[in-house]
Structure 1
Amino acid sequence: MLKMKQSCERCSAPLRLIDQAYICSFECTFCPACSERLEKTCPNCQGELVLRPPRKSSPTEAASPRFKAKLEKILG
C-alpha cells in the first residue's frame, strides 16, 4: 500500500491526502513547487517524480470490516 506522507521532504509544506504531490518509486514525497525546482527528479535516488494519486480518506477511516480485518492481518 502506498504510504501517503503528510509533508514535503524538502520544504516541510503540509500535504493532505487530497493535495497534489509528487513521489518517486521509493515514495519520497515533494510538493509541486519543490518538484518543479528539482526538475521532477528525486534528489535521493535520482528517480522520476510522478504525480501521487489523491485519496479522499485514510484506508482505515470508515473502512469496511472486511478491509479492516485484511489490513490488521497484513500489519499484524
Structure 2
Amino acid sequence: MLELRPNCEWCDRDLPPGSSEARICSYECTYCAECVSTVLHDVCPTCGGNFSARPIRPGREWRAGSCLGLEHNPASCRRTHSEWTADQVAELARRLRDVAPEGR
C-alpha cells in the first residue's frame, strides 16, 4: 500500500492525500509537479527513474466491510526530505533527462 507522504521532498510543499500535484517514482519518492518539471526534469534524484501522478486514495470506505479508504488507511504524517544536494540533483538530471524512462 502506498505510504502517501505528506510533502514534496525538495521544496517541502504540502501534498495532502487528495492532491493532484503529487508525483511519485517507483520507490514512492514524492515531489510536487512543479519540482518534477522544473528542478528534477522527470528524473528521480534517488533512483534515476521517472515520475507518475500519485493516485488519490478515496476518503471513505465505499464497500461496506472492505476496510479501505483514508478512514482505515491514513496517509503518512512523517515529512521526508531529499538527501541530495542541488548540484547532485542537477548533475543526474543532466545525464538522464534526455533518456527515455524505459532506457534508464
**How far 1:56 sits from its partner (Å)?**
3.5
Q: Sequence identity, in percent?
A: 35
Q: Which amino acid aligns with 2:14?
A: P
Q: Say whether residues 1:22 and 2:23 are aligned partners.
A: yes
* CA distance in 2: counterparts of 1:33 and 1:10, whole angstroms: 10
Aligned to 1:50: 52
Look at both structures and tell me which one has the larger radius of gyration over its CA atoms. Answer: 2
Across the aligned residues of Structure 1 and Structure 2, the Cα RMSD in angstroms comes to: 2.1
Count of aligned residue pairs for this structure pair = 66
Q: Which amino acid aligns with 2:25?
A: C
Q: Runs of 4 or more off by more than 3 Å in structure 1? A: 61-66
TM-score w.r.t. the length of structure 2 is 0.55
Distance change in 2, residues 1:19/1:66 (3 Å):
closer
Distance change in 2, residues 1:67/1:56 (3 Å):
closer
Contact 2:61/2:67 (<8 A) preserved: no
The one-character-per-residue Cα deviations of 1:4-51 (angstroms, maximum 9, x if unpaired) are: 000000000000111121100100000011010211110111011111
Contact 1:9/1:28 (<8 A) preserved: yes
**How far 1:67 sits from its partner (Å)?**
2.5
User: What stretches of structure 1 of length at least 5 have no aligned partner?
Assistant: 72-76
- Select 1:39's aligned residue among 33, 38, 41: 41
